[in-house]
Amino acid sequence: MRKNPSIGLCATLALCLLASLPAGATPPPDVDASVPLCNGAYTGRFVFDFGNTTSTATVVVNTTIVPANGFSPPPPPVPHYSLRSQAGHRNSPSDPRTFTTTQLQGDNQYPPAPAEAIKLAGRSPTCELSAYAVIDVVCPNGTVDNRSKQQTWVGCGL
């Protein structure tokens, strides 16, 4: 029977890489979600980007509205919209949250850019970052459509 020494070397290297990962590290709970608005005429988009370095953790919250694909003719500009993006942080569950909030409103147009909120924090096992976003739209027929999304990252990757 012939042995292949490179298989053993690869297995050893893989075990060493796994052992170097922090125990119990939670991956970033990123969100990239699209939701239909006004019976599918528009699409609301929520993007929550969580990340970290060796000493800091961040969350970037982006909220926007775009025309839905596949409509011919395309829907008219949004009669009225309100976007709210909120990024939050607290050092431990007993601490109050601090927030960064961005709100955008417009009439008879699409948002020129997403509503963006960013929060940066020091990493710790008790750190919590949160993302919250709301889209309110007045539809062409006069009805109101409201959507929201939220996500929390406990431990900020530790």
How does pLDDT run across 56-111, given as a tens digit for each residue? 999 999 999 999 876 677 789 999 999 999 999 999 999 999 999 999 999 999 99
Q: Count up the domains in the chain and report the number.
A: 1
CB 136 within 8 A of CB 85: no
Check residue 24 and give its pLDDT.
58
Distance, CA of 99 to CA of 115 (rounded, Å): 14
Nearest residue to 63 via CA among 105, 94, 92, 14: 105
pTM over 0.95: no
Return the structure tokens found at 113.
Answer: 């850019």
Instruction: Say if 140 falls within a structural domain.
Output: yes
| Predicted confidence (pLDDT) at residue 16 exceeds the cutoff of 50 | no
Average pLDDT, the chain: 87
> Which range of residues forms the domain containing residue 121?
26-154
- 71-75 — which CB contacts under 8 Å span 24+ positions? 71/40, 71/41, 75/38, 75/41, 75/42, 75/140
CATH code of the domain in which 55 resides: 2.60.40
In a domain, 137, yes or no: yes
